[in-house]
A and B are shown apart, each in its own frame.
Chain A
Amino acid sequence: MKRRDTLKAISVASFGMAVGPVEAAVPEPPEPKPAVKLLPGRQKFEAERDAKLLASEKFFTPAELQTVTVLSDIIIPADAKSGSASQAGVPAFIDFMMRDQPRSQTPMRGGLRWLDRKCVSRYGNPFAKCTKEQQIDMVEQIAYPGKQVPSDMTQGVAFFTMMRNFVLGGFYTSKMGIDDLGYVGNTPNKWDGVPEDVLKQYGLSYDEPKK
C-alpha cells in the first residue's frame, strides 16, 4: 500500500464514516496540468531538481486536495471579473510548493488535520464533507487574526493565515489573477511618464516649480 493510500485509509477510518452524500456538493478538483516547461537559464542542479519535482508524486492526498480546493475557493471565489482560485490552478501550485519547500509540509498537513478534527467535533464531519454553511461558520472562527478567539482556535487562525497567503500568491501570479489586477506591463514599450489625466487627477506635474 502506498503511503498516501494509508493516509487516506486512516483519515476515513478515524473519522468513523464512509464517503457520504455530501461529497457530491464538493466539485472534483481539476486534473493537474501537464508539467511546465523548464525556465531558460537553469543551472544544471536546478534543471535536474525541477524535472524531478514536476514528475514527483503529489503531496496532497485526494482528501487533502479536496479540502485545499474548497478553502482556496472560499478565499478567492469567482466573481463578475474573474474566476476562482481553483479555476486558476491554485491547489496544484500549493501542492508544488509543498514539494519545493518541504518546511511548509508539516504546518500545511497538520493544519488541514486540525481543521478536519475541529469540524468533526463541531459538525460531525471533516471540513470537505460539511455543508457550505458549516464550512463558512468554521472559516469565520479562524479568518480574522486581529480578533480575540478562544484558545482552542489560535492554531486554526495561524493555519488559515498561511493558507490565505498561499492562495493569494498563487492566484495573483496566475494569468487569471494578473488580468484581474489589471497589470499591463511585461512587454516592450516606451515609457514617457505618467499619463496626463492621471497627473491631473493627483495634481502633479513634470514642470519644475519656479525657484
Chain B
Amino acid sequence: MDLFQIKKAPTVYDAIVVGSGAGGGMAAYMLTKAGAKVLLLEAGGYFDPADPKYMTQLKWPYESPRRGASTTRAGGDFDAAWGGWEIEGEPYSSKPGGDFFWFRSRMLGGRTNHWGRISMRFGPDDFRRKTLSGIGDDWPITYDDMKPFYDRVDKLIGVFGSVENIHNEPDGHFLPPPKPRLHELMLKKAATGIGIPVIPSRLSILTQPINKERGQCFYCRQCNRGCSAYADFSSSSVLCIPAVKTGNLTLQNNAMVREVLTDAKTGLATGVSYVDTISMQEMSVYAKTVILGASTCESARLLLNSKSARFPNGLANSSGVVGKYLNDSTGASRSGFVPALMDRKRYNEDGVGGMHVFTPWWLDNSKLDFPRGYHIEYGGGMGMPGYGFGGGIEALNGKIPGRDGKMKPAGGYGAGLKDDMRRFYGAYVSMSGRGEPIPLESNYCEIDPNTVDKYGIPTLRFHYKWSDNEIKQAKHMQDTFEQIIEAMGGMPTGNKPGKEQNYGLAAPGRIIHEVGTVRMGNDPGKSALNKFQQAHDVKNLFVVDAAPFVTQGDKNVTWTILAASMRTSEYLIDQVKKKNI
C-alpha cells in the first residue's frame, strides 16, 4: 500500500459532515432523517455509552488502579472524554503571554460525552448586546429566529427545568426538575435571603422517559461517564447512533480531516481529504455539500488550512476574520465548609449528574463596573470519594472545634484524623461562576508557521488575553461567593484569590466553552458566514459547531449549537429543494 497515493472514494454523497459532536451530530441526524446520503467523519474512535466495553458508569474508585486520577485523561479515569488539553502527536502553541488551552475529545459524540448537560437557551438580550450596551457585536439573528428550534430541541432531546418567566432566561418545554439536595436547599435559603435568586437547574437529563429508544435517569450523578440508559444527551447516543439506524449515514471513524477540497473553477466545495489515523492512508471523499462541526478551533483550523490559488487566505476567509474573536467563558470558583452539615445522616443523595439548582444572572450591569453577566453553578454533598479525597485536610481541621469543643492543631494523624474525616464528610459546598466575555479581534487562533501534527497537518497557534471586563467580573464572582458561603453560616476555604491571581479567573480555554472563530454576520467583509451559517464565499459550505457564534452569553452554548445546527440543516434541505445549492 502506498500511503501517499491518495485514495479517491467513488461515491458522491449529498453531504459530508466533519465532526460528530453536538453540531455535527445534529446535522447528520436531520439530514439523514430527511433522506439525504451523508458521510460523517469523526477523528476519534467509535463510542456507545450503552456498550459494556466502554462503560465506566457505576464503577467504584478502586476499580481504577489510580483511583480515578487524571494521569491520562483530564477528567480522570472514569470520565468519558477521550482526549483533553494535551493529545500526544497533536500539538498546538501560543504566542508569548497569550496562552490558550485547547480541549479536544477524539471520539464519536466528541465532548458531548462528558459535558455538564447544562442546557440553557440564550435569551433575547443575548443576541443584541451591542444594541443594548454599545460594546461588542449583535448577532445577525434574534431570539425569535431561534425560538422554534430551541422548542424542537427541547422536545427531541429532553431537558428538565422550571417555568420562571425571567426575561433573559426563556423557559422551554421542561421535564420535571429533581428536588434540591440538602446543601442546595441551604444554599437557596441563604442566597435568596441576600437577594440572589436560586432556581432549578436546566439539564438535558430525562427525569421522565420521552421515547422508546432512551431510558430514564436512575440518579447516579455520573453523566460525565456517559449514560448506559441514554438518559442524558450525548451526541453519540441521541443523534449519531439513531442517524446510523436510518440507513442513510456512513460513519467513518478515525478520519482526521486535513482540508476542504474545492473546484478551482466554480469555487464550490467538492469534498474533503482526510488521513485514516489507524492505517495512515490518505483519502479524498466527495459530496455536494460540506458541513463543518469539528469544534470552534478545529473548524477554523480546517478552513485556514484549505488554501488554494483561488482562496489564498484559506477557505471562507476573504474577510480575514476566520480564527478571530475566539472567546471562552469566564470562570472562577470557591469552596466553603458548612459546620451545620457536620455529622450528617447518611443517605443516597447522588441525584442527577450535576447541580439541581443554580443562580441565573440577576444584576443590572449599568450599576456595575463590568459589562456582562454570569451564572453560578453549585456543588457539594455526600458524593462518591475519588482520587485526592481528603487532600488538604490540614487547611481545615485546625479551624474546627473537636467533639469536645476544643481546637486542635491542623493536620495530625490517627484516630482523631479518622474522626475528622467522618464528621466533615458531605459538609462542603462549592460554587463556580460562568460568565460572558467580550469577544475581541485580538483573541485568535491562526496557523502556526512552523509546526505540524503527526499527520503532517499544520497546527494552531493561539493568542488570547483577558481584558479588564472579564477580570472585574471574576472579582465580582469572588465577592458574591464569599457572601453566599457566609450567609449559609459557612467558612470559605482556601485563600480568596486577589488581583495578582486575576481573582481566580480561569485561563482561556479551561472552561471549554470556546466559540466565535468563524463568525456569522450580514456583512461579508466582517464575517465568514451568513445568518444561516453558510459561507459567504462558498455557498455549499456550512459550519454548525460554536465557531459561528458572535457571542456566548453566560449560557453554556450546547443547546444553542443544537438549535442552530437544526436550523442550518433545515435551511440546507430547503435550499436543495429550491435548487439553489
Contact = CB atoms under 8 A, between A and B. Distances in A.
- The size class of the interface chain B forms with chain A is 35 or more
A177 B78 CA distance: 19
Contacts of A199: 185
B66 A165 contact: no
Nearest to A43: B82
Contact of A39 (B64, B182, B414, B418): B64
A170 B67 contact: yes
B391 A169 contact: yes
Contact of B78 (A37, A39, A170, A185): A39
Interface in A24-48: 36-37, 39-41, 43, 45-46
B389 interface: yes
Interface string B46-86: 01000011111011111111111101110001101010000
A36 B60 CA distance: 12
A41 B415 contact: no
Contacts of A184: 346-348
Interface stretch (B132-140, B380-388, B446-454, B510-518): B380-388
Contacts of B347: 184, 195, 198
B186 A202 contact: yes
A174 B62 contact: yes
A43 B277 CA distance: 14
A143 B349 contact: no
Nearest to B89: A45
Interface stretch (B215-223, B258-266, B466-474, B551-559): B215-223
B267 interface: no
B352 A172 contact: no
Interface string A190-209: 11111101110110101000
Interface in B316-363: 340, 344-352
B412 A185 contact: no
Interface stretch (A15-23, A69-77, A106-114): A69-77
Contact of B54 (A40, A49, A76): A40
Contact of A197 (B69, B345, B385): B345
B66 A100 contact: yes
B178 A191 contact: yes
A188 B219 contact: yes
Kindly list the 5 A-B residue pairs having the minimum CB-CB distance in the complex, ordered from nearest: A168-B390, A193-B179, A188-B218, A182-B346, A173-B61
Interface of A: 36-37, 39-41, 43, 45-46, 49-50, 53-54, 74-77, 79, 93, 96-97, 100-101, 139, 143-147, 160-161, 164-165, 168-175, 177-178, 180-195, 197-199, 201-202, 204, 206
Interface of B: 45, 47, 52-56, 58-69, 71-73, 77-78, 80, 82, 88, 178-182, 185-186, 189, 218-221, 226, 340, 344-352, 382-394, 398, 409-415, 417-418, 421-422, 425
